[in-house]
Structure 1
Amino acid sequence: MRRALLILAVLVAGCGGEARQDADEPSGEFKVEVVRASFPRVQHIAENVELKLTVRNGEQDRSLSTVAVTVETKARGDDATLAFGQNQRGEGLADAGRPVWVLDEGPVGGDTAVVNTWLAGALGPGRERELVWKLVPSRPGTYEVSYRVMPGLTGKARAARGDTSGRFRVVIDDEPVPARVGEDGEVERGVEPGSSD
């Protein structure tokens, strides 16, 4: 409940003169689900990777105006959760958040006032939408990334039981992915330097 109120306060404060993203959010329970999810289990520093989630409006006769997805990297200890990072303890830090992945590009048109939540937008009955996050791993280690889909941003609309959430356990290797420069001058990742096709 506290989280829902915090999200609502951020939305109200950050919307300026534009229409609020939660303006048409209904109350009640609605069927939304994640039908496909992929994220490479083993990654390398500086490799381009994609997190992909396909969400569906499971309602048979009702459109949903604000389907949202939250992504969180499991925090260490009591730290707050971040979308693609973790907090680092230490004195003199203006911002304790440190990226595990650098977000190169989020889902198109999906930004919200909440830093770990993106919109899938309005979905008609039975409709699906794929959300893609383009990321670059920046810190080696083993991490757990969780996701969940919601039929709204404020908690007024709740997800019915079903495949609404999941998680990935990801290992980021500190060795960069092998690469070479091809004959056309383009970087070819996943190919050892000096090897032939």
Structure 2
Amino acid sequence: MTTLRLRPEGPADTGPVRRVLAAAFARPDGTTPGEVGLVDELRGSPAWIPELAMVAEYGGEVVGYALLSRVHVKSDDARYPALALGPVGVAPHRQRVGHGAAVVQAALEAATELGERLVVVLGDPAYYRRFGFTRADRLGLTSPWSGLGEPWQALVLPPDTSDAPPPPAGEVVFPPPWSRV
């Protein structure tokens, strides 16, 4: 029986990850999707956290990908670390069987283990709600995508106890590669 294996991306995964993202975000005109370039640029930046670049491998083939990269919340004159989820992609022949949800959950669990507290995402609210994401504006978070409303979402990672300080509110600042997507 073939099982799904979830693990951090390794050096040999660069090509397979590019292929998964190119297929998952394929454009009708055949040009390379911006998500491929985003991951390539983030790999060489301070926003890259190797333990939070997760692949889903099925039958020895990389079929899914979820990336959490460093962003910051600018509040007053301070900057607080947070994470951005994306891109998330699954090879078309393995979509709708749970690989995307599994690789996202693995990335979020890895972030929790590293002590991260806040994740933002721009995506389908119906999909990301299953992981606990809610509208980011409810947490006082803004970004270039705030005007999109519900798709601009955030998740406070455990431990979210009554004695834990709330996550900072403010403007989420993305690293330069994000401006090209």
Greater C-alpha radius of gyration: 1
- TM-score (normalizing by structure 2): 0.25
The structure with more strand, counted as a fraction of residues: 1
Higher relative contact order (CA 8 A, sep 6+): 1
Higher helix share: 2
